[in-house]
Amino acid sequence: MSELTPKSHHRLKGFLGPGGTYFDVNESKTRPGHSDDRRYMSEERFSSAAVAGTLAEARGFLYQCLSLNPLFDGEGYTKREDGERGIKEYLVVNQEVGKMALHRYIDMPVALGDLEE
């Protein structure tokens, strides 16, 4: 069984064809959540009988519908480009901040110089 790893994302580029990337396929949308490109994995297309459920299709669905980048591997932690494990990562349903029971806004003064290394 194939594993979903950052490396598997790069190996799957052949599925997308010459010059194709998941980003390119995502940009082919004709309206939000829809593309005529057979490689675009909307929720509807991914759950249809026409899709075999391959690793490439699953990776496309994760990228195009959930905006999960190539470093996502499903282990519950962020991954850095060098493969090192980062902090815990959570998938949640989008919602307005004001509707979150325990939310707090904190004023933080930030100057442009704070962002430069």
Q: What is the pLDDT of residue 68?
A: 82
The rounded mean pLDDT for the chain is 79
pLDDT digits (tens, 9 = 90+) for 30-76: 877 788 888 888 889 999 998 888 888 888 888 888 888 777 777 88
pLDDT digits (tens, 9 = 90+) for 49-62: 988 888 888 888 88
For residue 19 the two structure tokens come to 């010059």
Dihedral over Cα of 24, 25, 27, 30: its sign: positive
For residue 40 the two structure tokens come to 């675009």
21 touches 15 (CB < 8 A): no
